[in-house]
Chains A and B, each alone.
Chain A
């Protein structure tokens, strides 16, 4: 099972959405085409948007923020450069319509 999500809240749980197989495969293809970073990127956390994430079966998690995609598995961490922002764009666009508008409490 694939799950997309956004790292945006501090107290409330972050919202997630299911991702279909076709989109997940496309995201994996993009990931495989990205250039690996030789240095470990600095991770910073702020109040507000901290990127999007993609989860696969609870074993793999990709986090994309500021054009860096990081994959964490039980075997370790790999980071790649999402120069054109394709990974983040596809991941964000896979959210159901109205998803981001509904983040604010009515």
Chain B
């Protein structure tokens, strides 16, 4: 008995207008189905975002002889994406077969040169994907066993609370709640006198933080690592390296966060988006119980 399974292919390309659809039967359906076999067992962990203006792939629905949809998948840049089985590689042959100059896409009576339009968009997508910045190795945070645990909820009791508005970046980085918006050097009787690295760093040393400019983002054997940055003439700011090895901070009286000004996780405060806090001063070590801040 002949296989009456057919494929419905939707070209996902428009934002406002309805996407055009194509029915594949007989030989075309057979060829297309054979091109959907995964080429590698290994799953891909990530793909660029699908919410993108322009070509977003082909949505394939396998329909049975009774017209029921049995499987739905998206083919995008050689990846087969299903909600249940994740992302697998199938190669570019399926998209090339459907969208190529001799492919079934020519049957879509949509607008003049539609095949050429889709092909151009598909190539544009493939070129964009190569440049997609997140293929690059994203550094992982190496845990620091002596560092404080990242527990923002403990600090974030709201602007009307006791902890959040009265403890600043210095309190948070040193993991020392004073409820006084602590200032470097104040506890030792000699606060910083200007907003420069040269003034804030010695003030923190007077509070018994240990200057470690050579720390190079590595966990110390004792205590935990903090980092001082300054917006010259404006303000200073502190980050701390948590037990999970990533950095977090508390911008003044606002909530604790582990994101920088661009919304990215902080792997290294030297390279994070720090807004107007342009000067990276130094890494320092906080030995638990050794420091005094006020």
Contacts and interface: CB of A to CB of B under 8 A. Distances in A.
Contacts of A9: 235, 252
Contact of A63 (B159, B195, B250): B159
Contacts of B275: 46-48
A48 B238 contact: no
B21 interface: no
Interface string A40-80: 00011111101001000000110100000010111001000
A10 B159 contact: no
Contacts of B154: none
A72 B234 contact: no
B233 interface: yes
B235 A72 contact: no
B34 interface: no
A61 B157 CA distance: 13
Interface of A is mostly: loop
Interface of B is mostly: loop
B169 A10 contact: yes
Given A11-B168, A11-B235, A105-B233, A77 B158 contact: yes
Interface residues of B, number: 35
Contacts of A105: 194-195, 233-234
Contacts of A11: 168-170, 183-184, 200, 235-238, 252
B154 to A, nearest CB: 15
Interface string A1-19: 0000001111111100000
B181 to A, nearest CB: 5
Interface string B142-157: 0000000000000000
Interface in A65-106: 70, 72-74, 77, 103-105
Q: What are the 4 closest A-B residue pairs judged by CB atoms, nearest first? A: A72-B160, A45-B254, A47-B275, A11-B236
Interface of B: 158-161, 165, 168-170, 181, 183-184, 194-195, 200, 233-238, 249-257, 259, 261, 274-277
